[in-house]
Structure 1
Amino acid sequence: MIGLWRGQELPTNHRIDGLLPPFGWHGKNFVSADEGHPLIMRDRFGTYPLNPFFVPLKLLLAWPKLFNNVLGRVAVRNLGRLVSSARPKARLRPVELGGTVSAAMIYDEKPIIDHFRHIDDNHCLGLMEHRDFDRPFFFLLIREQIAVQTAG
């Protein structure tokens, strides 16, 4: 799992389907088992790690139109670097899900666990669990680079 991975939503009619790409979600970066960046964003200057602490997920779920509009997307894309963090905000651990143990990214400051299932050396299926979700959110990760130290 170590390295930079590009993320891609897998549409399943989940409440957050379609929310990540317009805000510039690029993927995830795993520097080591104890150093993970769960939200790598892309703007006109390149990629950066967004601090998940500042993502108002409950607010987004309650009022998706509040942010998911032209003004909200422009604000996030232009102000995101102000709430970036070079410090890791998650860690990788083996976690059992559905009777199978696999790698999982455990967020430090949010009730979120991203579970990963190996497809091949360059692809992983991701499943995001959040305390407030009635079912998981699915995404695909595609390997970009072997190891990337994130600058902030």
Structure 2
Amino acid sequence: MGTEQEVLDAIASGGECDDAELAALFDRLEPVDTALLIGTWRGGGFERSSESARLLTRMRWYGKRFVDADHVEPLLCRDEQGAVFSFEEMGLATLREVVFRGKSSTAMVYDQLPVVDHFRRLTDDVLLCVMDKKGEPADFFFHLTRVQAPTP
């Protein structure tokens, strides 16, 4: 079984993956463009012990909504009843073309946080992603899966 399939299996099962393996796979994958990102995506992390993972768990992070290049809702969360809402207190984001790890790609730039999310295509409906928190020693790897039906 190849690394790509192992990562897809981990996403499907809610399992964890090694950051070094994720970084190597990320570097091999194709960048994405803005058109691929448009829509709502359900997110998840590959580990649960970092501060980023704990924060997303506390927020009940659901995923991201890409309306267009100038309007991204980076923090879709669930309320106590399970309804999805856009947590805009931490700002919105835009999509910009950037070079990251040697490849030009569409990235999501937060408007109020020193964070840039980078995306690579595992399939048309599954992305491997890196949260690049400026000033932090380690990146946070996460995944996004396209939501086929409207968000409840």
- Same fold by TM-score greater than 0.5: yes
In structure 2, the gaps of 5 or more residues are 1-36
Aligned to 2:53: 17
Q: Secondary structure at 2:53's aligned position in 1?
A: coil
User: Greater share of helix residues, 1 or 2?
Assistant: 2
> Which residue of the partner structure matches residue 85 of structure 1?
none
Three-state SS of the structure 2 residue aligned to 1:19 is: helix
- Which runs of no fewer than 5 residues in structure 1 stay unpaired? 54-87
Task: Report deviation, 1:12.
Answer: 7.8
- In the superposition, the TM-score normalised over structure 2's length comes to 0.67
Q: TM-score, normalised by structure 1?
A: 0.67
Query: Does structure 2 retain, via aligned residues, the 8 Å contact 1:27–1:38?
Result: yes
Find the aligned partners of 1:89 and 1:13 in 2 and give their Cα distance.
Answer: 26
Amino acid at match of 1:105: M
Which AA in structure 2 matches 1:47?
Answer: V
Q: Which residue of 2 aligns with 1:30?
A: 66
SS at match of 1:91: strand
Q: Per-residue deviation at 1:52?
A: 4.8
The number of equivalent residue pairs is 114
The Cα RMSD (Å) is: 2.1
> Which one has more relative contact order, counting CA pairs under 8 Å at least 6 apart?
1
Whether the aligned pair in 2 keeps the contact of 1:3 and 1:146 (CA below 8 Å) is no
1:11 Cα shift?
A: 1.4
Matching residue of 1:47: 84
> What is the aligned-residue identity percentage?
37
User: Would the aligned equivalents of 1:104 and 1:115 in 2 still touch at CA under 8 Å?
Assistant: yes
Letter of the structure 1 residue corresponding to residue 126 of structure 2: H
